[in-house]
Structure 1
Amino acid sequence: MPADLAVIGLGHLGLPLAQAAVHAGIQTIGYDTDPRAFAEVAAGRAPVEGSLPASDIRRMLSLGFRPTTDQAELGRVRTAVICAPTPLGPDRTLDLSAVADAARALAARLRPHTTVLLESAVPPGTTEGFLLPILEEGSGLRGGRDFHLAHSPSRLDPGNRTHVYANTPKVIGGLTPACTESAAAFYGRLTDKVVRARGTREAEMTKVLETNFRYVNIALVNEMAVLCHDLGVDLWDVIRCAETKPFGFQPFRPGPGVGGHGAPVDPGHLPYHHRTPGPPLRMVSLAQEINERMPQYVIQRCATLLNEHGKAVRGARVLLLGVTYKPDLADQEASPAREIATRLMDMGAQIGFHDPHVLDWRVRQLPVPRADSLYEAAAGADLTVLLQHHRTYDLQGLAVKAQLLLDTRGATPAGAAHRL
């Protein structure tokens, strides 16, 4: 049966979109330029950690979702959405190579009147200045005349049970007004509210603003955490009081580092020839510097605590709790846990870990011992460090059992542990 929708990129963005489309009754195929991703999804498994549970993928397959390796099928759909990953490259810019690969695969089969949408996180100008030329050159068609083209930034929040696909407003910006309306007609089948941007660049910049807003505010509270510790002030109590203000304040909380897939973007450093005439976003660069210092600050606090209790880092048994980037998920993308473990190992510490969502964890390709009995491991460790607060952790019980407990998330009861 011909499909209405092709989702290109079966990862963190593509699978949730395909899930929403399938549940909305849209005949959907999934395509990925990596054949391994196809094989995993076809077998009912997620090709990347933390995208969707295997049970959800099996449910999608039972409802008619079809992963495919046949490029010809991309030419039989009315709507194609590119959800390719855009990881940070060595120069700290977003790597658009997967977007280019997806675009070339689609362009070879693109037919008139198709609506092409880009959901990948990209710098402003990418849809028009990078994606459009690939599609036009590969298909011989003109964007805005022969096919519709629009950008819609992803707003997924993995694990959030309150804000899901259907009740999260979708921002869209098209190459032309007709492109915008075609995109709105598609997303209107998946979500309760569609917000029209003036164009593709405004839609792209919306993601930049949202991501950098989070990143800069986390940097602020991370700096406040260091300052408050030096002054003997309970930052967590400060935040509790500040968040009672009904206007002009939004609470953010410090931590051992910033993980996840939403990398900060500086439009002053575009990964192709369309560069901004002005200076880079200095505040984003400074926030990045501050947030990247947090793993080292955690190490400093670990060493100080051990020293205060007559122990050196070298030879100390350190138990790390929670190695994922987000609570109650298995995804380890950009989690600070690996850097913290590496630094502690370099200082001669004996590292162990516990995470209810991670059974096998490796640092420098070497397996890290996993604690079978959490309480016994905490009691036997010279220092226990809470890096991620999974709700299965009984922190009050852990605080009683652990010889020393450093809480980097402010999740333990006041006075029960040393807080970041």
Structure 2
Amino acid sequence: MDQGNTAFILICAALVLLMTPGLAFFYGGLVKAKSVISMMMLSFGALGLIGVLWVLYGYAIAFPSTAEGTIQAPWAIDFNELGLTSLLDAGEGAYPPLAFVAFQATFAILTVALVSGAIADRAKFGSWMIFALLWATIVYFPVASWVFNFGLAEDGSFAYGGWITMGLQEWFGAGAIDFAGGTAVHINAGAAALALALVLGKRLGFQKGVHVPHNPPFVLLGAGLLWFGWFGFNAGSELAADGVAALAFVNTIAAPAAALLAWLVVEKFKDGKPTSVGAASGAVAGLVAITPACASVTPFWAIVLGFIAGAVCALAIELKYKWGFDDSLDVVGIHLVGGLIGTLYIGFFATDVGLFMGGGATQLLVQAIAAFAVMIYSFVLAYVIGLAIEKTIGFRVKNEDEVAGIDTVVHGEEGYVLEGTRA
């Protein structure tokens, strides 16, 4: 066992886990003051629920044992891995299997929490927890298997894996590249967020300029924590402290930095003023876009990707006003659009295999297949799950509770209580 790599993976897992509280601050600052507790609790609820589900059966679905040379079924479960008991005494290679279990658990938690940004100010906590349980089980865990569960033979070819890796490799001669979760995390969460926004409908009085962030410092704090944790997210996906991890680390600096600048430039020309929320959102858009490509492009092309993602996502968040869906905190405009940009960008500029980097069109084709397959799968099932909850126990709070602010109604707490008065 390589103790250095083991320590690297465990530290990266802790960094990624920090991203969920960071997301809570990022989202919490964007909503109105009387919904901040509710918004942050959606992230912390996901942390608790998915952490338990992952140990009980999530890992068994996402990473079932597979015979050599096998393309995994789109939905499978390894009953020997339930509760992780079989991994306690598993043989150790470069790192203990449980280190990988811990690292991947944090991905599952964060992905579910990301979805909650589309339903801010109007969702019941209990209904959200039911949705999180069902969506993680039916959507995230299987999609993680499609993307992340693969092994390599000694000659570097795929020995086994999900259909997005080994399947596309056998069918087209190239598997989709998603180093750290552009499809499994960001496209997946963004598509589900769009579905839930449609199911719950618009907030009362929804129109541009009405719902403004109540606490931009929270947003900046959350973005900073997300960026810090993202180094574990991207570099840690190499599962070794080596040159590839170093490349992913540098690209995780370069792309979001460029995206931050691009977002501010677009804001300046579009609205006349660059904002702190725009800076935070631009950085996150760049982080999303570089996630699948962080080990496949040079730092120069990472900067180009960041500029593209920052500018396009800054414009994409306006689509909710034109098309009439209330994606409250721009999960669609940042995570779905940014994830699509980063995933497809690989097909053009990935070193040696991109269309403009000496490769052909095959890599672009398989990137598109992976991206749109995950998007459609997640959207359809999230819509069905969300609609079923809304039609049975109800997903959205009453109108009067939404107007008053749902913190006291749902959680019996207030985000800001001043001495001698109540916020």
Larger-gyration structure (1/2): 1
Q: Answer 1 or 2: which has greater strand percent.
A: 1
Q: Answer 1 or 2: which has greater helix percent.
A: 2
TM-score w.r.t. length of structure 1: 0.25
TM-score w.r.t. length of structure 2: 0.25
Relative contact order, higher structure (CA 8 A, sep 6+) = 2
